[in-house]
Amino acid sequence: MDRLPGFRDFYPEPLPTPEGWSADLRRHLFTRWRAVAERYGFREYDGPPLEPLELYTAKSGAEIVGQLYNFTDKGGREVALRPEMTPTLARLAAAHERHYKKPLKWFAMPQLFRYERQQKGRLREHFQFNADILGEPDRAADAELIALLIDSLRALGLSAEDFVVRLSSRQAWQDFFARHTTRPDQAYEFYQIVDKLEREPAEVSAPKLEALGLTLEQVRHFIAAGEPTDELRAILANLEARGLGDFVRIDYNVIRGLAYYTGPVYEAFDRKGQFRAIAGGGRYDHLVRLVSGGKVDLPALGFGMGDVVLAELLKARQLVPRWEGRLDAFCLVEDESLRPATLRFIQQLRNAGLTVDYSLTPAKSDRQFKRALELAASHTARLERSTDGELRARLKHLATREERTVSLTDAPAALRQA
Ligand code: HAM
């Protein structure tokens, strides 16, 4: 039976097929994301993968609602697999924000589900690094998040030559729309047209804009002028002060597809323009109020970075590390009468934090040795009895083939040193 389209199997390296997904690469992303988030003082949270459908229908906008995996559960509840983390975060924060000092700086790495048309960089499930700040209206928070976004990509080996953060403002677009439209109630429709401008031909976008009383020319002119608002200038200055100015540029082509953004918004792209967005985010100051039914009002902002485009980009830039076996020792059982003692020895090594493997069932010596080589073990270890009947460990360093005999007590340290 095959897996569903748009879903992935993750295999350990070496991968069975070149186009397969690597569980080792996924762990690499998670490890770096978590490390950088913690370096910035963010704390980890999580929520349920299944949520009430309602959490998304009014808040995220038509585009994502059209992509929901939703159904009625056995209790008659309308539910959906989470397509994004932000509404869940808004709910979590609204429920217990008083328990925490502000601003909240939180991160998560959820698996998300969207019934999208499959294309390069877009699947029906992906993992997304989310980092958000709640309770801070100052632009310093916007800059802090963009810096975190940049550093999480740098931690994977990418540089200012590989990617750029395109910074824009939903507020600036809202003001532009209010100035030019004949249909002020259609702002979200307008944002969606702008969001697709780079991907849709002019013959499709122009009539849609005209229906709102705007021309493609006006919109293109606004983008080309690229005049940063005061808010964007402050964010740029903040990032420049950190030496991160090269990673950002003003670009009003970005507006974001989701409905809830209210202020500065941004997306990270590869410089060569070969891939879809690596990450996207911005300020959404009204979402917590909306999700809490007006009970809690917290300014909020954040971004999401997906694993799919990122993995493609790292592969293209040859930044995927090679994963080799990490065995400190492969224990050989050549004399079956020593198996119980060897098991005790293996347990002792593992208790000491060493990675150890061995043949579960009796096997010929050369087969065990071959297995040790296949697993790229650093050593083989074999128990033997000295003339006075004491058990000792014979260690062989596989790269140099050097051998030495040590006491069982000294074995963990000896394996660690080499
Ligand atoms: P988003 O732009 O919908 O934002 O997604 C963020 C990133 O997730 C995208 O740039 C992309 O890398 C990845 N992504 C999205 N959909 C897919 C897909 N179908 N397949 C593969 N990768 C995908 C959000 O989700 C916002 N909730 C982010 C946010 C957090 N805003 C504020 N806080």
Alpha helices in 97-246 (DSSP H): 139-154, 170-180, 187-196, 202-210, 216-225, 230-241
CA of 258 to the centre of ligand 1 (A): 10
User: Which two structure tokens, joined as six digits, stand for 149?
Assistant: 């976004």
Output the pLDDT for position 201.
95
Element (H, E) at 165: strand 163-169
270 CB under 6 A from ligand 1? no
| DSSP SS3 for 278 | coil
Query: Whose Cα sits closest to atom 28 in ligand 1?
Result: 304
Output the pLDDT for position 66.
87
The residue that leads in pLDDT, 389 or 100, is 100
CA geometry: angle 109, 113, 115, nearest 5 deg: 155
114 CB under 6 A from ligand 1? yes
User: Which two structure tokens, joined as six digits, stand for 58?
Assistant: 């009014």
Distance CA 413, CA 418 (A): 9
Closest CA to 146 of 229, 241, 14: 241
Largest Cα separation within the chain, whole Å, is 98
pTM, two decimals, is 0.94
Question: Does the structure show a pLDDT above 90 at 65?
Answer: no
Output the pLDDT for position 333.
98
278 CB under 6 A from ligand 1? yes
Q: In the predicted model, what is the mean pLDDT of residues 304-323? A: 96
Output the pLDDT for position 290.
94
* Per-residue pLDDT tens over the stretch 1-26: 999 999 999 999 989 998 899 999 99
For residue 89, which atom of ligand 1 is closest to its CA? 33
Q: In the predicted model, what is the mean pLDDT of residues 388-402? A: 95
Output the pLDDT for position 61.
72
Distance CA 393, CA 276 (A): 55
- Ligand 1 binding pocket mutation candidate from 84, 168, 254 (most atoms within 8 A of CB): 84
Closest CA to 417 of 401, 395, 393, 391: 395
* Per-residue pLDDT tens over the stretch 84-120: 999 999 999 999 999 999 999 999 999 999 999 888 8
Q: Are 159 and 32 in contact (CB under 8 A)?
A: no
Question: Does the structure show a pLDDT above 90 at 76?
Answer: yes
Question: Does the structure show a pLDDT above 70 at 161?
Answer: yes
The residue that leads in pLDDT, 387 or 41, is 41
The single-letter DSSP state of residue 2 is P
CA of 232 to the centre of ligand 1 (A): 22
Q: How many CB atoms lie within 10 A of CB 8?
A: 17
Q: In the predicted model, what is the mean pLDDT of residues 381-400? A: 95
* Per-residue pLDDT tens over the stretch 21-44: 999 999 999 999 999 999 999 999
Cα separation values, 252 from 137, 153, 267, 349, Å: 22, 22, 11, 58
Long-range contacts of 43-48 (CB under 8 A, 24+ apart): 43/105, 43/106, 43/107, 44/106, 44/107, 44/108, 45/89, 45/92, 45/106, 45/107, 45/108, 46/108, 46/110, 47/82, 47/85, 47/88, 47/89, 47/91, 47/92, 47/108, 47/110, 48/82, 48/88
306 CB under 6 A from ligand 1? yes
Question: Does the structure show a pLDDT above 90 at 64?
Answer: no
User: Which two structure tokens, joined as six digits, stand for 13?
Assistant: 């390296």
Output the pLDDT for position 48.
98
Q: Match 């790292």 to its residue by tokens.
A: 314
Output the pLDDT for position 418.
67
Question: Does the structure show a pLDDT above 80 at 59?
Answer: no
Percent of the chain with pLDDT over 70: 100
Question: Does the structure show a pLDDT above 90 at 291?
Answer: yes
For residue 279, which atom of ligand 1 is closest to its CA? 10
Which domains are assigned to the chain?
10-316 (3.30.930.10), 327-417 (3.40.50.800)
- Average pLDDT of the chain, as a whole number: 95
Question: Does the structure show a pLDDT above 80 at 62?
Answer: no
* Per-residue pLDDT tens over the stretch 193-227: 999 999 899 999 999 999 999 999 999 999 999 99
